[in-house]
Amino acid sequence: MEAWRKIRLGDACVTNAGSYSPKDEWKFFNYLDTGNITDNRIDSIQYIDVANDKLPSRARRKVKKNSIVYSTVRPNQRHFGIIKMQPENFLVSTGFTVIDVDVDTLDADFLYYLLTQPTLVEALHAIAEQSTSAYPSIKPSDIENLEIEIPELATQKKIAEILGSLDRKITQNTEVNDNLLQQARALYKDRFIDMRSCDGVLPENWHIGTVSEIIELHDSKRIPLSSRERANLDKIYPYYGATSIMDYVDRYLFDGIYLLLGEDGTVVDSNGFPILQYVEGKFWVNNHAHIITGKNGFSVETLYLLFSLTSVQSIVTGAVQPKISQANLNKVSVIVPSREALGSFDSVIQPIFAQIRNLRAENDRLAAVRDILLPRLMSGELDVSALDI
């Protein structure tokens, strides 16, 4: 550790350096909100045409290549990332602290990994919980005042490359899975939706029914755990909310393959399609998602494809807190194919979803390796100086 030195982070970076001004006169914007990035994975970027849409008041922060975006609200939800590519006229929410490094002192990727260590995230979250704002939040100065130990720049780059190689493989696997899901949706659309558009007549033994005919709801088993309760549990099984994994706990409610569909909060995307999660294995889930399996010939996988292509905007209620109730969900009209047609389709898509599950499992293993290496590399316990990277 002799070659490592302690610095105040604010002395080697700047925060929130660039902001949008009306003088920029952009005609359109690409906007990233805090909830649309988790662990450096972006779910969506909102396109805003100023001629037709109002720019959100929080769309103000400018970023550049290697800017780190770090949500100031509830840091333990891990809404952070590092910008490598960006669309034109890109802004991020003022809910982020944007961090740009002094490249003569810090490698941006090294700093990103340092700031995403669980111990440091929890330390920042502890600061957030002491805040007097409406939500647990940190200030840019809380990040700037962090004291960190860093090696020389060449070593920082080696450490970042080791961790980055694992994350790139995880990203590659995720992209393959996204492509597999797109193919599966196209197959479902061709088999069960487009065929009807020719003459409007359904095949024999098909009918127009409701969701209640094809799903089983397991909502009675949902039991939320508070953040205080979860803080004392070992991190083993995923704890799901409506839209993503919120935490990990040492117990589980379900074991198997299920479909989670958002019940309240963020329940639909910009096109009115429901927020879905296809999950497998042992997990806990809070009370913000419906837990679904299929019946009458519908597998969980077929249900996932059906709902991913079915707008449910018309059944969303609640002006302040959007909600999809069990009763309204069960009333949604759907095409119910014959059991024979469903079985034939299932034989096609099950290998696709098996590959998706395999790649997810590989990603879990890669992430576990990364998470084991991360604190050891960041502390200097593992010496990388002799590595040729």
pLDDT in tens, 258-287: 999 999 988 998 789 999 999 999 999 999
Assign domain 207-336 to a CATH class. alpha beta
The pTM assigned to this predicted structure is 0.86
What's residue 86's pLDDT? 93
d(CA 24, CA 142): 30
What's residue 15's pLDDT? 97
What's residue 242's pLDDT? 83
Decide: 44 and 137 in contact? Cβ < 8 Å: no
What's residue 88's pLDDT? 95
Q: Residues near 264 by Cβ (< 8 Å), separated by ≥ 6?
A: 242, 288, 318, 321, 322, 323, 324
What is 5-150's CATH superfamily? Answer: DNA methylase specificity domains (3.90.220.20)
**Regions of the chain with pLDDT less than 50:** 1
CA distances from 67 to 265, 302, 374 (A): 29, 40, 20
Residue 279 backbone dihedrals phi, psi, to 5 degrees: -125, 155
What's residue 194's pLDDT? 82
What's residue 6's pLDDT? 95
Per-residue pLDDT reduced to its tens digit, 89-116? 999 999 999 999 999 999 999 999 999 9
What's residue 196's pLDDT? 59
Q: How many CB atoms lie within 10 A of CB 5?
A: 11
d(CA 382, CA 388): 15
Q: Parse the chain into domains and list their residue ranges.
A: 5-150, 207-336
